[in-house]
Amino acid sequence: MISIRIQNLTKRFGPVTALSHLDLEIGPGELFFLLGPSGCGKTTLLRSLAGFYLPDEGRIFFGDEDVTRLEPHKRNTGMMFQSYALWPHMTVAQNVAFGLEERRVGREEIKQRVGEALESVRMGEYGARRPNELSGGQQQRVALARALVIRPRCLLLDEPLSNLDAKLRLEMRTEIRRVCKEFKLTTVYVTHDQKEALSISDRMAILESGRVLQVGTPREIYRRPVCKTVANFIGETDFLPGKVVGRAGGHLVVETAVGKFEGFAGDPAHVPELNTAVTVSIRPECWTLSREAPARNAIKGSIGGCVYLGEVAQYDFAAGGLRLKIFELNPRFVDQSARGELYASVEPEDVVVLVN
C-alpha cells in the first residue's frame, strides 16, 4: 500500500486553469473519491496522477517517490475508464493479459496471474469469451481484472459505473469496494454519483474550479458541510438566510425570516461573529412535524403538497413566505391529516450555520 501526496498542483489548458494550487493527501489503502460539478478538475487530477497530463506547477508523490515527471507506464498504476476500452477481437483472458505482455512477463506467470485476476472478480469461467458476449456488468469486471493483474501501486477509476443500469451499479459498487480492500489498494475514484460516493468511500474530496473545498468522511461531508456549495452538491438541503444574533449553550443563534435557530458552525475554523450574515442549512429528513409547538428551533406553517412513497413522504412545507422540503419516514401527515397548521422543528445538531 502507498500513500498519495499532491502539493500545489496546477494544470492549465491554454487560458483555462483546470487545477489551481491543489493540495491533497490520500492514505495507504484508502478508497478515496473525487466529486464535483462538471469542469471542476476531478478528471484532470486523476489523469495527472496517471501521468497522462504533466502539471504546470506542483508535485505528486507515491509514497516517498516523486512521480511528477515519471512516464505513465513507469508509475505502475491501474486505470479503469468509463468506456471499459476492451479489445473486441481478443478474448477476455487476452484482454486481461495485455498489460502483462507489454511488460514482457513470462507466459506461465501470465497464465497464472490472469486466472487469479479473473477469479478475484468472479469471472474465472469467462476467459474464452469475447467482450461482445458479455453483459455490461461482466465487461466492467473484466476491465477491473485487467487493471488489477499488473499488481498496481494504486488504482485509478474514472466514472467506471456510469454506463451501467441502476441495478448493476448497486452490485458493482459493493464489488469494487470488496476488491480494493481485498487487494489493499490505494484507490482514487472519480464520479458524479453522490450515492456511490457516500455508500462505499472511506473519504472524499469535493472540488470546484480546480480547488478542494472540503475533504472528509461521507458522514462528515454530509452532516457538516463547510460551505453552501458542498451542502448543495451532496444531497438535498433547505437554505434559510439569516444573521448571527447570539450564542446559547455552545450553539450559534441565528435569526431568520421564520424564526430563530440554534446550530453549529459548518466550518469550525471560521466561526461567524455576531451580526454576520449567514445561511442555515437543514437536511429535509432532519425536520420533525407536530401539532404542538416545540420549545425551540421550530417554525409554523402548512403542507402545500405531498408525494407519498410508502415508507417516506416528501412534503412541500410553506412557512412565512418560504417553501421548504421535508422528508418524513413512516409518514403520518398525508391526506386529511395534513390539513391545518403544523410545526416543523429540528435539533440543534442538525442545523449547520454557513458563512455567506
Do 224 and 241 sit in the same domain of this protein? no
| Residues above pLDDT 90, as percent of the chain | 65
Distances (CA, A) of 349 to 235, 297, 315, 327: 17, 11, 22, 17
Of 206, 228, 250, the residue at which a domain comes to its end is: 228
Q: Mind listing the pLDDT tens digit for each residue in 266-305?
A: 999 999 999 999 999 999 999 999 998 898 899 999 998 8
pLDDT bucket at 250, cuts 50 / 70 / 90? confident
Do 198 and 338 sit in the same domain of this protein? no
**Any residues with CB less than 8 A from the CB of 24 and at least 6 apart, and which?**
4, 5, 6, 9, 45, 205, 212, 215
pLDDT bucket at 337, cuts 50 / 70 / 90? low
CATH number for the domain that contains residue 301 = 2.40.50.100
Do 308 and 198 sit in the same domain of this protein? no
By residue range, what is the domain housing residue 247? 236-355
CATH number for the domain that contains residue 192 = 3.40.50.300
Do 12 and 124 sit in the same domain of this protein? yes
Nearest Cα neighbor of 204 from 190, 188, 215 is 215
Of 228, 263, 286, the residue at which a domain comes to its end is: 228
Top-confidence residue, 229 or 85: 229
* DSSP H or E run through 116: helix 107-120
Total number of domains in the chain: 2
- DSSP lists the bridge partners of residue 314 as 307, 327
Do 37 and 178 sit in the same domain of this protein? yes
Do 337 and 266 sit in the same domain of this protein? yes
Do 85 and 188 sit in the same domain of this protein? yes
Do 160 and 202 sit in the same domain of this protein? yes
Across 188-192, 203-207, 318-322, the highest mean pLDDT is recorded for 203-207
The predicted model scores a pTM of 0.88
Do 61 and 93 sit in the same domain of this protein? yes
When pLDDT is averaged across residues 66-76 and rounded to a whole number, the result is: 92
Do 188 and 315 sit in the same domain of this protein? no
Do 245 and 333 sit in the same domain of this protein? yes
pLDDT at 336 over 80: no
pLDDT at 237 over 70: yes
| pLDDT attached to residue 188 | 96
Torsion angle (degrees, nearest 10) of CA 72, 73, 74, 79: 70
Do 198 and 256 sit in the same domain of this protein? no
Of 208, 228, 248, the residue at which a domain comes to its end is: 228
